[in-house]
Amino acid sequence: MTYRNASLFFSAFLTVAAAFGPSTAEAGRAHVILDANTGQILEAENADAINYPASLTKMMTLYLTFEALHQKRFGWDDRLVMSENAESKEPYKFAVGAGNKITVREAVMGMIVLSTNDAAVAVAETLAGSEQAFGQMMTAKARALGMTSTVFTNPAGLPDPNQVTTAADMARLGLALMRDYPEEYKLFATTCLTFRSMKFRGHNNLLSTYPGADGIKTGYTKASGYNLVSSASNGSRRVVGVVLGGDSAAERDGQMAALFDKYLGAQSGQ
């Protein structure tokens, strides 16, 4: 079964999740793992519970960035002006200074590897004029992708009680990125970034510690706990997993590795 057919299979699960999920964020623990090729839900716990996405939000910002690139609304080498608003977004940012520019390629790689908030806002302001307008675009796209329990209000994932999602919806988004932008999806496997002669290591440690892991995004705020969407393959099966509300990055990564071991065959010790 193709990724597109898998997404249709998974949409039925999401519809049920939306119907019975709570209406306010709990910031609790949740996970889901699915077979990326068939859409089969392999295991889920609290997958329909409303939680905060934190920087997993940038997955949608990147989805819309890839869409804009394919639609020729801008190019990889186009330059984005860093506004004062974008420059103000702590803690992770390029910090080039308001009025200066970064390329779309730098923005994409910054969001993937370093979770740069200023880059996310620069993309949002370029494509939609404001964070608020981009949040509306993000939510509309979420609905189009079957993410019925997700609301986005800003492109970076910075704290907002109205910006919510579920583990089920994040798995859906991970599958959509894989299916709709397979070449760009490969960028999520990047572990290091050189930005204007400065070298940085990314936050997604599972890429370096788990054989077969190839993405995709970490997230953390105090309200959300430690979040991760990840995919891995053993050569014959690919899975997409989501862990929300971890107590630490190490604990979150360990839970994801255990899920991978369970459904791919133990690999973390190889």
Q: Which residues have a catalytic role annotated? A: 55, 58, 115
Q: How far is CA 148 from CA 52, 141, 157, 202, in A?
A: 15, 10, 18, 30
| Spatial distance between the Cα atoms of 141 and 135, rounded to a whole number of angstroms | 10
Question: What DSSP letter does each residue of the chain carry, written as one string?
Answer: --HHHHHHHHHHHHHHHHHHS-SS-----EEEEEETTT--EEEEESTTS-B--GGGGHHHHHHHHHHHHHTTSS-TT-EEE--HHHHT--SS-----TT-EEEHHHHHHIIIII--HHHHHHHHHHHHSSHHHHHHHHHHHHHHTT-TT-B---SS----TT-BB-HHHHHHHHHHHHHH-HHHHGGGG--EEEETTEEEE-S-THHHHSTTEEEEEEEEETTTEEEEEEEEE-SS-EEEEEEEEESSHHHHHHHHHHHHHHHH-S-TT-
